[in-house]
Structure 1
Amino acid sequence: MHHTGYQPDTVALIGAGNAIDGALQKGLQRVGFRVQLLTAEQLTSGQFAARADTIVINAASCGGSAHMDTARAACEALCAQPFTALLHLSSYGVFGGARRKKIDEDELPSPGSAGGRDWLACEQVLAAQENVSILRLGWQIDRSDRALLGRIIRGLLEGKPVALDDVSRGNPVTVADLARVVVAITQQLASGAPRSGIYHYGSADTCSAMEFGREVVDRVRSLYGEDFAAELVALEPSGDDRSSVLGCGKLRDVFGIQQRSWRQGLTRQVELWLERLQKPES
């Protein structure tokens, strides 16, 4: 086997149980890491024992709100495991909404929702551990068919109106871009980069869910033709602006990782989700 020069060259990936897992596993293997993909349940039930020469990537918190208890238990189990470095994937949700400026990494979390408190609780479990990095991500638009992209395309295919927020803004993250960033961080963790810190990542440009939806409709029409009917409906204003835009300067300064537009590669993402959602259930 060709030696990559990474020290260590083994990654234990605690999966999210959705599209993130395959993208991370393939991306890490493509650059030469040996990857062991585990579920949070395998970790918490004692079916896995890490070695000191292992990098752990913990995506368990990205599994959705219904799985946050298991994700927190996975974080607690990781505290008893040896590892060279641990990269924990978290969310902009640890902050409340309605921020007019970008949220820097040194701003104190102040979650305004139960989901945000769950994200923060997972971070706090790991905060006292050595060699732990936390990567907070902008809203994840395509990790499952219940996320924004899948919800929009499913509504369009079923001919149903799709109600979207046209007020709150964020800098979203696609699964493909998430994998790019995580792989790049892991390569550098295995090559002598700092092994602890808090980082943010979101796309270079911001949007509301409605703006994103209009762009998706344009991509679907480019594939189906201009006669494709689509109805996007703005949610009634509630007075609740939940805008959260992450500043990503520290990730750039420490790892040299540049932000990309959420529009980059969107046509291909739409094609893949159309194929997935149109596939007959077996």
Structure 2
Amino acid sequence: MSLKLLLTDASNAIGSAIEHELEREAFNLFVPKPGELDWHKPASVTQYVRLLRPDVVINCAGWEDIPSASQQAQLTLVAQQIAAACAPNNIPLIHLSSYKVFGGDNKSIHSEKDVPEPNSDAGRAFLTAEQSIEQQLTKWIALRLSWVVGSYGENHLSRLLRELVDKQHITVSSRLRGAPTALSDAARVAVAMAKQISCGAENWGVMHYCTSDACSEAEFADQVLQVLKQQQILSESVELDIVDQLPENEPVSAVLSARRVRDYFGIQARTWRPSLLPMVKQWLHSHVDT
């Protein structure tokens, strides 16, 4: 009999990517339908989980690389409720989190041992969600991700593409650093963890994942710009406005040490560069008339 996996949300970018990744796996996937449960009512969530009895849960509700205020509220609410519902039956929970839990320190790379000190509302929401899970569960993973990029959702890539195509101009920082991680790559890691947990893996706590190819925001934007020029979407005269400044309320570095993911689950980091062209083409197909 196939194992049951509960995915709390498949409507956002990362949830959609995870759902797609699970299509090739043997899990019996369940995603709450609209109106099937009320996240504001603990009894509703508890009853849903008790009747379903999933073998593992992946929580990505409210998650976006650049979450809005309403998404931040959903992030903290669902984390609290799903953890409370999983606790009585000790159901393993993989919760997706973010580099945004870190703040304005000068570290070039963050490890799981670093103390989070968020400097934004989004960062505080991600940290509150993590703490809700840690306080209630023994079998939990908070998977923090770096810049998650893709052709859909609100993220660094979609923002760059929108600004470059619509305005043919964007200001980017040479000091801000991250490790662009494709939605499909993040989904691969979450599903790989779920598979190993379903087979008896007992590795818990905070874990980091990002690609092996870190860069500055300016370097990433330049790669995107070159692809747009190659696709003849922008003229050769279009250039970036590069500044030696940091944006407010954003960690200086979104580069994460992925050692625990590698050592405990054997997951190897990939580079983002081969996936950039397909992501840009998909975005153009959806947003630009050609």
Alignment equivalent of 1:19, drawn from 13, 17, 42 = 13
Instruction: Sort the Cα spacing of 1:238 and 1:38 in 2 relative to 1 into closer, same or farther, 3 A.
Output: same
What CA deviation, in whole Å up to 9, does each residue of 1:210-263 have, x standing for no partner? 111110112222222784553321246259771232101010000000011121
Percent of residue pairs bearing the same amino acid type: 30
- Residues 1:213 and 2:221 are matched in the alignment: yes
CA RMSD in angstroms, aligned pairs only: 2.6
Alignment equivalent of 1:232, drawn from 240, 243, 247 = 240
Instruction: Sort the Cα spacing of 1:239 and 1:95 in 2 relative to 1 into closer, same or farther, 3 A.
Output: closer
CA contact (8 A) 2:151 2:283 kept: no
CA contact (8 A) 2:6 2:54 kept: no
Instruction: Sort the Cα spacing of 1:228 and 1:150 in 2 relative to 1 into closer, same or farther, 3 A.
Output: farther
State the one-letter code of the partner of 2:171: A
CA contact (8 A) 1:170 1:245 kept: yes
Alignment equivalent of 1:44, drawn from 30, 39, 42 = 39
Alignment equivalent of 1:138, drawn from 114, 139, 146 = 146
Q: Distance in 2 between matches of 1:167 and 1:76?
A: 35
Alignment equivalent of 1:248, drawn from 258, 266, 284 = 258
Tell me the equivalent position of 1:185. 193
Instruction: Sort the Cα spacing of 1:143 and 1:71 in 2 relative to 1 into closer, same or farther, 3 A.
Output: farther
Work out the number of aligned pairs and report it. 274
Tell me the equivalent position of 1:112. 119
Q: Provide TM-score, normalisation by structure 1.
A: 0.87
**What does 1:47-196 align with in structure 2 at a 5 Å threshold?**
49-50=48-49, 51-63=52-64, 64-66=67-69, 67-82=71-86, 84-128=91-135, 129-142=137-150, 144-196=152-204
Tell me the equivalent position of 2:272. 262
- Of stretches 201-210 and 228-237 in structure 1, the one that deviates more from structure 2 is 228-237
- Partner of 1:70, secondary structure, is helix
Q: Provide TM-score, normalisation by structure 2.
A: 0.85
CA contact (8 A) 2:165 2:234 kept: no
What is the CA-CA distance between 1:18 and the residue it aligns to? 2.4
State the one-letter code of the partner of 1:68: Q
Tell me the equivalent position of 2:29. 35
Q: Distance in 1 between matches of 2:178 and 2:34?
A: 28
Q: 5+ residue gaps in structure 2? A: none
CA contact (8 A) 2:112 2:257 kept: yes
What is the CA-CA distance between 1:196 and the residue it aligns to? 2.1
Q: Distance in 2 between matches of 1:270 and 1:172?
A: 14
What is the CA-CA distance between 1:16 and the residue it aligns to? 6.4
What CA deviation, in whole Å up to 9, does each residue of 1:67-122 have, x standing for no partner? 11122111121133136310000011111134334211122211122221111001
Q: Distance in 1 between matches of 2:203 and 2:245?
A: 43
What is the CA-CA distance between 1:276 and the residue it aligns to? 1.4
What CA deviation, in whole Å up to 9, does each residue of 1:137-192 have, x standing for no partner? 01222374532111221222224311212211122211011111111111111111
- Of stretches 263-272 and 93-102 in structure 1, the one that deviates more from structure 2 is 93-102
What CA deviation, in whole Å up to 9, does each residue of 1:118-145 have, x standing for no partner? 1100101111212111101012223745
CA contact (8 A) 1:159 1:229 kept: no
Instruction: Sort the Cα spacing of 1:222 and 1:256 in 2 relative to 1 into closer, same or farther, 3 A.
Output: same
- Of stretches 29-38 and 223-232 in structure 1, the one that deviates more from structure 2 is 223-232
Q: Distance in 2 between matches of 1:263 and 1:167?
A: 20
CA contact (8 A) 1:138 1:202 kept: yes
Q: Distance in 1 between matches of 2:33 and 2:242?
A: 37
